Every structure is written in C-alpha cells, then in structure tokens.
Structure 1
Amino acid sequence: MGKKPNIIIVLADDMGFSDIGCFGSEIRTPCLDAMAAQGIRYNHMYNNARCCPSRASLLTGLYPHQAGVGLMMENLGIKEYQGYLNDSCITLAEGVKSAGYQTGMIGKWHVGGGYQKTREALERAGKKGYPTPMQRGFDYFYGTLEGAGNYYNPVTLMENGEWINIRPEDNFYYTEKIGEKACEALERFSGDDVPFFLYVSFNAPHWPLHAREEDIAAYEGTYLVGWDEIRKRRYQKQLEMGIVKDIWDMSPRDTGSPDWDEIEDKDWEDIKMAVYAAQIEEMDREIGKIREKLTQLELEKDTFILFTSDNGACAEELPEDGWICNFASERTLNGEKVEIGNLSKRRPGKEDTYMSYGLPWANASNTPFRLFKHWIHEGGISAPCVVSWGDNIKNPGRVEETPIHFIDIMPTILELAEAEYPREWKGTPIHPVAGESFLSSVREKWERKRPIFWEHEGNCGVRLGRYKLVRCYPEDFALYDMELDRTELHDISGEHPEIKKELLKAYEEWAQETGVKSREKILEIIKNSEV
C-alpha cells in the first residue's frame, strides 16, 4: 500500500440522522458538506443506540457486551456488564500502535466505568479503578471521562492523567477546546515521520443546550415554522440528495409530539432548537479547523477521516433539579446556581442553564425515521456517516447504501494501518473481531456478508440482507423490509413467518454466544444490588 495513511475518527454525540447539511438539514455544516462532496456518504451507518455501548463497539470492533459495556457504566458484577472495557478486547489505539502508529484522543471517553459525582470523590479514590484512554493505548489524552457535563465547566476534565481546573477568565467552551487540542496534537504528530491515529470525540450536541450567544442568534427565529415543517423540508432535501428513497414514506409525527399549532410558547421552542443547531455548527467549525491544520501541514491527502454519531437524537426531557446534576457542577465558575431542567421561562445557552431540546425536536432530527436514542428502530441506531481520504475516493460525492456498523470500523482501520488483529493481548485471549472491513467501498462496490445484531435495555434486533427483525421492549418482534420500508411502518411478520422465525433464531443464538442477559434478569440484578 506504500506509505501508511494517517487516520482520524470524528464522533458526534446524540446527533440525529438528518442534522447535518449533507443529510438534509438546514443547519450550516460547510466543512462536513465539503467532506461529503469530496468523499462518500454512507446512509446505512448503524450504531448501538446509546453513548457508551456505541463507543465500546467503535473502539473495539466488538458488540458492546463482548467488550464489557452491555448496559451503561454500572458494574453489575458480570464481565459483559461491568461498565468499562474488559480485558477480552483491544482498542483501535492498541491495534494501530502495533503497526507503528502514534495515537491520541481528544474529547469524551465514557467507556471507563461509573465515576463518582464530583472530582473530589475521584481524588479521594486516588484516581484508581477504571481505565482511562492512556491505559488503553493512547499516547495522549485531553478530554472528559464522564458521559456529559457543562460545556463551560465540564466535570472529569483531564489531560494525560492530570485533572484540569478551569478558571472564569479562561472563556472555556468544550467544543472549541476539543478543536484546539486536536490541532495541537496534529502539530506534534507532524514532527515525526510516523503515521498517526487521532480519535476526536465531541460532546456536542448532547445536552445541555450550551452555545455561544452569537451562534445562537444566527438561528433564532428559524424554527418558528415548527417541527412538522422542518421534518417536511428535511425529508424533501433527503429525497433530492438520494439519502432516502421516495418509496420510504416519512414516519408520522411521534405520538409524544404535539401539533405545532397547539404550542403556546413557540418562541421558547424555537430558541431550544436554535441552541441545538448552534452546537452543531460550532462542532462543524472545529472540524473545519482540523482539516485546515491538515492542509497547513501538507497532510490532508494522506489522511483518512471518518465522521459519524454515536446514536440517534435524544428525546430525554430534563426535570427540574433532576438526576442530571451528577454530570455537572451545581454552580457556575462564578458561583452562580445552575438551574437544572427544561424551565420554560429561561433562555437556554448560558452556563447557568441545563436543558435539553426534547422529544418533538428529536423527532425532527431523526427525519424520516421512528423513535430515538435507546431504541433499536432506525431513529435510534441510524447515524450520518461521511468519509474523506484525499484523492483516494472513487466517484466522490456518492452515497453508499450497503449497511455498515460501528463494529466494522476496527477491521477497516486495521486494514488501513496494515495491522493484524491479534488472538490474544497481554497474555489474555480476546474475542475475534465481530465486524467486516468496508475499506474496499472507497473504490468499488462492497457488500457485507454477516448479519448485524443489537440489544440495549431489552430493545433488540437483527438485520440480515434486506430484512430487519426488531423489538421495542416489552412488545413482540416486528419484521420490516428495509429495501421497501426503511422507516418501519409496515410489519410483514404475518406475510413472512418463516423469515421472522429464521431471524429470531439467529438473534437468540447470537445473544447466547455474546452473553446478553434478558431485560428481566438485568432489572433483577439492579434491584438486588447497590448500583
């Protein structure tokens, strides 16, 4: 292959399928749109419907249960559900280091177990117990260990094992800092004639709704047309771009979303979505700075970049003074109280607020699909995916429709790096990689051979070829033809009972082999434990 390429993976957090311009959005994402024009859009990229299970698969090439993150970060006393990466896997960083790569990570980790509520509690614990990126193959790390936080003052912020204190005068904003630190890492990497792997894991646009005021103002008023109109406009753009097919009817507005005409405080709903849009534009801007740095260092043509999101849009409402305070300080850097919850009298965006944008806007983010983060329907597991690689892309600007999954990223990256996937690591046998490399798709037609499986909180399913069997726990399984009905509106179980039986058997065998426990069993363990 000649000189080994540099590799960058960029991950968004809780961003819906239609939230970037090249997948139908009105949100301004010029960098990602340019990458798509010069590269490939994969419109069937699948994740695991939730933050840390998806990250576990992305980093290891395994299903999350195999890697130890079968639920979330709680340790349930079972290897498949210990809440952090176990010793039966290797990470992408460990894999490419064996092929001579420098490695770095910037941003959200979230596969390191259940951290306590505050930094002080971690310090009392001696900073021990759960793996950081430095312990799993990364030469450099700047970012957060937790799953969320305040963008102006995130908890568990660390650089190379040392906790970082943010001061009011720093004018800190996490998305901007991730871009800055990524560019600094590129500068360091470029000093050696050695290829690098950089994992850039944004927290954006995960709640809370925090963005710079000037970016919010640019979108204010845009969403007064309402979520139904935004969905229609996005769907039409997706049809024009070839992201979706006209035989896939857009799913109806979610039953949890009211008619826009019934909303009394439309200005508040508008500003929530305006902040969310600003968060995405700010992330795109930082990705643009990373690409500019590559160009400045004359590395752009030699660098493979993959962008995607860890799950579908998030419909969670944040209750007033709710459970979320364990992710962030209850005071701002200046000592003011942070008002937690979706309080309609407050304008979101600043450090002293802590809000989410709610189900109706998440429904728009996931256009044209059903459901959200947590669920295994397409709205929960479908992510936009853009790949660019200098002049190495054949027919740039195209849309690839073959299903790919986060488990496929490991074998793809290892093929790029000319690295072998080992049978054991540090004397311990590891699981064989679960995914398939899709690297050849950058130059030619590629078709996956293996089925794809999911399980999260009892929501589960399997996709094999054109068919997908999916369960919305605790309901029965439904069967859909993804070629004719990717928006999952017509259950064909009655028409094809033999296909449903075949896929259910495949799912049950996979669940047994992978160590998946029933939802009832997991709830029993949680009830009887102190997690």
Structure 2
Amino acid sequence: MNRTQSALFAFLAVYLSVASPLQAVERPNIILIMSDDMGFSDIGCYGGEVETPTLDALAAKGLKFTQFYNTGRCCPTRASLLTGLYPHQAGVGHMMNDKGLEGYRGELNQRCRTIAEVLKPAGYSTFMAGKWHVTPHIAPGSPRNNWPLQRGFDRFYGTIHGAGSFFDPNSLTRDNTQISPYADEEYQPETYYYTDAISDHAVRFIDEHQQSKSDDNPFFMYVAYTAAHWPMHALPEDIAKYKGRFDAGYEELRKERLARVIDLGLVAEDTQLSPGAREWDQVQNREWELRCMEVYAAMIDRMDQGIGKIVNSLKQNHQFDNTLIFFLQDNGGCAEGLGRSPRKNLTARAVTATLDPMPADELQTGMIPAQSRDGFPVIMGPGVMPGPADTYIAYGQGWANVSNTPFREYKHWVHEGGISTPLIISWPEQISSGGKLVREPSHLIDIMATCVDVARANYPQEVGGNKIHPLEGLSLLPVIEEQPLKREAIFWEHEGNRAIRVGDWKLVSKFKEPWELYNIKTDRIESHDLKKQNPELAMELEQRWDSWAVRANVLPLRPKKQ
C-alpha cells in the first residue's frame, strides 16, 4: 500500500466511524415509556399527589412539555406512536374492529412502518414489554402478522389485548407464544403483578442486550404499562401508602392541583378550573369512592417504582447518559363507569373459594375474568373495595375530573382533558438545561420522526410493493437543542369528535355538535368560544380540517355507536 492509498484508507475509516448509520457512535439507546388512562396532573412533577420520584427526577434533569398531545384513546394512540402517522393512516381510526374502510380496519396496515421496523435496519436491537393493542387477533393460533415480532421487535413480553386483570392478564405472550403467568418457567415472582412483570422484563432485555452484544449497537425499547387503566388492581403495601390522602374530595383536590400546576408553570397564572363533574358532599359510599382513588394512586406509584428499576439498570450498565427516554400517556383520565354497578348480584367477597381453581397452565382469555385463579368470583359495584384480583372496578368520572385538572372532558373526546397529557424527555448527554419547560405544541406523530432522526435511520418509501405513508410528525431534536419547531397544524378525530390546532388557535367539536374556537394561549380550559368573533378564522380552520380528513382516511366518520 503506497502513501496515497494509506492516507485514503485512514480518511475513509474516520469518515465511516462518524457518518455511517450502522455505527453506534453518538447514537443513543431509545426507550419509549407509556402509561395508560392517566390525566394531565396525576404524576408529581405535573401537580399530582402520587409519589413519582423516578419520573420527577427525569423531569428535573430533562424536559417537561406543557402542550403535548395524544389521540384521546388507547389503540389509536398506540398506532400513531408506533408509526409516526395519524391513526387512520395506520388503519386504526377507532378500535379493534373492521368497519370496512381503509382508516378503520382495526389493525396496523402495510402502508405504515413501526419504529422497530425502521430502526432495526439501522443496527438497533428492538425490544418491547407491555400492552400491544393494535390488532384484533389476540387468541392463540390467530394470525400473527401484526404481533410485535412480525412488526420489527426482536423480543416481546406483554399482552396483545388492551385490558385485563393485573394479577392474571389475558393474552399474555412471550415473543410469539401465549403463556399463563402461573406456568411460566422463566418468570416466577412471589406475587405476580403485571406492572412489575413489565418492568422486570424491560430490565431483563437491557441486561441481556449489554451482556450478549458483540459490538456497540444501541437498542430501542417500547415499555407500555397498563397502569392505571381499569380494573383498579394494586398491591396492599402500595394502597396503604395513600390511605386518607384524598379525603378532601373532588373539588378541594382540584383546587390544590390547580395551584400546584400554576406554581410549576405548566399553565398560565390566571388559569381557572373547568366545570366540576361531581359534588363531593353528594357522594354516597364515600369510603368506596376514596378506595378507588387510593388504588389508582397505588397503581401509578408501582409503575414509577418499575421505571426506577429500568433507570437503575441503565446506570449499572453505564448506558443512562446516552439513552433517550420518553415518558408519555395514551389519553386523558378515563370517566368510564365499568364495574361500578353490581355483577350478577355479586356484591360481597366470598369468605372461601366457591369455584374450582384454574389450573396453573390454563390461559386467561377474558378481559373481565369470571373468577380469580384461586376460585373466587370476580365482583363489582359500590361497596366492593377495589384492589384484589377478585374485583374489577373503574375509578369513575369524579376522579377522572381530578386527574384531568384543570381541563375539560376525558378520554374519548378531543378537548384538552382527553388529549393533553405529560411528555418528559431525558437524555443527559444532550440536554444541558435540565428542568426546562417546553411550550411548543407537540404530538405523538413527532416521536417516530425524532427516533428516525437521532438513530440516523432511513425511513422507507416502499416496502414489499406497498407505498409507505410519509411521516406526519416533526423531529423534536430542535427542541432538545433549544430551537423552535416549524409546525403548521395538528389534527384530531375520534368517534366523530374533531379538532385542529394552528398556532394558539384550536377549533374543536363533539360529534354532531357545532365547532368551537378557542385561543389556547389565553384559555387553556376552553371556556370562551370565540367563533362568533372570528368567523373567517373558524371557516379557514374548518376547511383545513376537511382537507386533512380526506387525505388522512378519516372520512366518512365512524362514530362510536355506528
């Protein structure tokens, strides 16, 4: 080799080590952590009463977004998060049922790619622990083309379905095989609790990746908790921590939260409370209502403990500083009343088991089990204290109103209470202004764009003869680098509820109701409709929404009851 060839070889070696997308130099590990059915102000660093020291610490040294948006419902949010598209473009405009239209097929289509499918060719190992919920095929032996391993993940532990018991989850799956937690040779804790199982498997994937990798390839991991979705199931020691914490009732707790939210700078100082949903002095079965919120808080607390395990694993493996962590939520607090009425006249817990115990290897197939595994009937309704495996209860509208403080509405709707929830970003190597509030409006569609950007991955235009929808979101890397985003608009539709956000203006409506126009900068709780004062602006935004709805496979609308 002559001197010229030697110099050229040295130059290429240096260039490839810096520029090649297959090199791990400066590329971070990426972890998406998502909770389920929680409101804007539930976690500590967003004004809540629940102890969330891990999330608080990530926020204190990372970024906290004040105007981050989801889709208002669990499965459309998961489709949007995974693909960087609006949910209808990915085929999940509503739930897991096929309504015969491209935007409402009820499962991921072949015109989208998941983050895992895009990052794997860029050299990332890909893992998932938790709730999948983007396919209707949940039974053993059903088609698996849209299960995690078929959509880009190397390893998976979690549930294919969207909800179920925390002590005996249905559709529990390791990789491609459904399992019973009580006959699982690989994981046998003293007490099986799904939140812990998700956390423990996330830690396992990190540890195994670090121990087995032969090069410096980074990893991508999606951790999708079911906390704090109904049923209200939690461990006794966690419930005990919150005894008496919520005794002041809905109205007083909302006032306390609003004061903290304002003090934290998350909303303007003159923000008021949206209308209350329930009056505490009218509540019957008060001890039962309090127990519902105590269990809800315990579920969040246990999730934060699990996130702490993940963070500790990163630190022990010397990976924390160069790991980009997102924490977000799939929708606002849930006002659904499931389990708040008696089931088959069963209103009291049996003293002894009245049914045959389930064999250890029997799969749990019911979203709402008929019985606990040890033979107790699953009971519901006022007076049935939630928490144990033989109960199945949601925490109700009054507490959901507290969770969404100070906003209007809940999960299902696209007013702020349904779609505005926390986003925390941690990346110690890149974020120097820890604790900064980010006021840029952002959306789930931005997460995939950010992952592709920081991973230096190639987003495909076509796969297997299928044209892939272009990404809809913006990379948040400029925000991390303290630069503004150049966003034109954000759009929503769910169950006929519609919205568009352009700058500070938001046009929003419930299904079959007139459009409303709000200036979100001055009226975050959406209390002063300015449509009559700004008819031309309202018309312009409505036309933009209509154009998007055609382009994004939203029309014709498929409301809930249709």
Match of 1:449 among 450, 462, 487: 487
Amino acid at match of 1:332: S
2:254 corresponds, among 231, 237, 241, to 231
Which one of the candidate residues 267, 273, 276 is aligned to 1:244?
267
Identity %: 44
Are 2:358 and 1:320 equivalent residues in the alignment?
no
1:11-43 CA-to-partner distances (Å, cap 9, x unmatched) read: 000110001000001110000000000100011
Query: Which of structures 1 and 2 has the bigger CA Rg?
Result: 2
Deviations 1:94-146 (A, max 9, x none): 1111211000000000001254xxxxxx23xx232651000100000000001
C-alpha deviation, 1:516, in angstroms:
1.1
Q: Counterpart of 1:305 in structure 2: which amino acid?
A: I
The one of 276, 296, 319 equivalent to 1:276 is 296
8 Å CA contact retained: 2:84, 2:444? yes
Q: 1:302 to 1:187 in 2, by over 3 A?
A: same
Is the 1:363–1:372 Cα contact (8 Å) retained in structure 2? yes
Q: How does 1:290-301 map to 2 (within 5 A)?
A: 290-301=310-321
User: Which residue is 1:382 aligned to?
Assistant: 420
| Structure 1 equivalent of residue 227 of structure 2 | 204
Which position in structure 1 is the counterpart of 2:76?
Answer: 53
Would the aligned equivalents of 1:183 and 1:290 in 2 still touch at CA under 8 Å?
yes
Q: Which residue of 1 aligns with 2:353?
A: none
Give the counterpart letter for 1:158 in structure 2.
Answer: T
Instruction: Give the SS at the match of 1:419.
Output: coil
CA distance in 1, matches of 2:247, 2:71: 33
- Asked whether the 8 Å contact 2:144–2:150 carries over to 1, the reply is no
Query: In the TM superposition, what whole-angstrom CA distance separates every residue of 1:305-350 from its partner, at most 9, and x where no partner exists?
Result: 000000000000014339xx941321111121111x3x12211000
Assess, with a 3 A threshold, how the Cα gap between structure 1 residues 517 and 390 changes in structure 2: closer, same or farther. same
Rounded to whole Å, the distance in 2 between the matches of 1:424 and 1:490 is: 46
C-alpha contact (below 8 Å) 1:167/1:333 kept by paired residues: no
Identify the residue that residue 99 of structure 1 maps to in structure 2: 122
Aligned positions, number: 509
Task: Measure how far apart 1:157 and its partner are.
Answer: 0.2
1:253 paired residue among 257, 276, 281: 276
Partner AA of 1:181 in structure 2: H
Q: 1:56-88 deviations in whole A, cap 9, x for unaligned?
A: 100000000000001110011222111010000
Residue 413 of structure 1 pairs with residue 428 of structure 2: no
- Counterpart in 1 of 2:3? none
Look up the SS of the partner of 2:521 in the other structure.
coil
Cα distance in 1 for residues equivalent to 2:417 and 2:117: 32
Q: What do residues 207-234 of structure 1 show as CA deviations (whole Å, max 9, x unaligned)?
A: 0000001110110111110011111111
Report the Cα distance in structure 2 between the residues aligned to 1:252 and 1:81, rounded to whole angstroms.
33
Does residue 155 of structure 1 match 2:170? yes
- Does the CA-based 8 Å contact 2:495-2:560 persist in structure 1? no
For the residue of structure 2 that corresponds to 1:313, the secondary structure is: coil
Q: Indicate conservation of the 8 Å contact 1:238/1:244, yes or no.
A: yes
Q: Would you say the 8 A contact 1:394–1:444 is kept in 2? A: no
Question: What pairs up with 1:338-417 in 2 under 5 angstroms?
Answer: 338-339=378-379, 341=380, 343-417=381-455
Do the aligned partners of residues 212 and 144 (structure 1) sit closer, same or farther apart at CA in structure 2, a change above 3 Å counting? Answer: same
| Alignment of 1:503 onto 2:518 | no
What 5-or-longer segments of structure 1 have no aligned partner?
Answer: 116-121, 527-531
Q: Retained in 1: the 8 A contact 2:368–2:392? A: no
Matches within 5 A, 1:474-489: 474-489=512-527
> 1:522: Cα distance to partner?
5.6
CA drift of 1:243 comes to 0.8
Alignment partner, residue 435 of structure 1: 473
Cα offset, 1:391, TM superposition: 3.2
- CA RMSD across the alignment: 1.6
1:167 match: secondary structure: helix
1:336 aligns with 2:336: no
Mapped to 2, the partners of 1:89 and 1:206 lie a distance apart of: 27
One-letter amino acid matched to 1:321: R
Distance in 2 between residues matched to 1:71 and 1:249, nearest whole Å: 32
Structure 2 residue runs of 5 or longer lacking an equivalent are: 1-17, 19-24, 345-364
> How far apart in 2 are the matches of 1:3 and 1:182?
23
Distance in 2 (alpha carbons) for counterparts of 1:129 and 1:289: 31
Are 1:185 and 2:205 matched, yes or no? yes
The alignment partner of 1:453 has SS state of strand
**Partner secondary structure for residue 393 of structure 1:** coil
1:517 shift after superposition: 2.5
8 Å CA contact 2:145, 2:151 repeated in 1: no
| Residue 7 (structure 2) aligns with | none
Q: Quote the residue 1:471 is aligned against.
A: 509
- AA partner of residue 73 (structure 1): M
Q: Quick one: which of 64, 82, 85 aligns to 2:108?
A: 85
Deviation at 1:381, TM superposition (A): 0.2
Per-residue deviation at 1:4? Answer: 1.1
Tell me whether 214-223 or 365-374 shows the greater mean CA deviation. Answer: 214-223
1:248 Cα offset (Å): 2.4
The aligned runs of 1:489-528 (5 Å cut-off) are 489-519=527-557, 526=562
Are 2:30 and 1:7 equivalent residues in the alignment?
yes
CA distance in 1 between partners of 2:486 and 2:169 (Å): 40
Deviation track 1:461-480 (CA, whole Å, cap 9, x = no partner) reads 10000100001112101000
Query: What is the alpha-carbon distance in structure 1 between the residues aligned to residue 238 and residue 467 of structure 2?
Result: 49
The one-character-per-residue Cα deviations of 1:492-526 (angstroms, maximum 9, x if unpaired) are 0011001100000000000011111244x6679x5
- 1:429: how far off? 0.5
* Secondary structure, aligned partner of 1:10: strand
2:187 is the counterpart of 1:164: no
Distance (Å, rounded) in 1 between the aligned partners of 2:373 and 2:173? 17
Q: Structure 1: how far apart are the matches of 2:58 and 2:334?
A: 25
Kept in 2, the 8 Å contact 1:453–1:461? The answer is: yes
Q: Distance in 2 between matches of 1:351 and 1:514?
A: 42
Partner Cα distance (1:404, 1:448) in 2 = 11
- TM-score, normalised to structure 1's length? 0.93
| Corresponding position of 2:328 | 308
CA contact (8 A) 1:216 1:274 kept: yes
1:137 matched to 2:160? The reply is no
AA aligned opposite 2:399? W
**Per the alignment, do residues 218 and 523 of structure 1 end up closer, same or farther by CA in structure 2, a change over 3 Å counting?**
closer
Residue 28 of structure 2 aligns with an amino acid whose one-letter code is P
CA contact (8 A) 2:44 2:51 kept: yes
Q: Report the CA distance between 1:236 and its aligned residue.
A: 0.5
Deviation at 1:425, TM superposition (A): 1.7
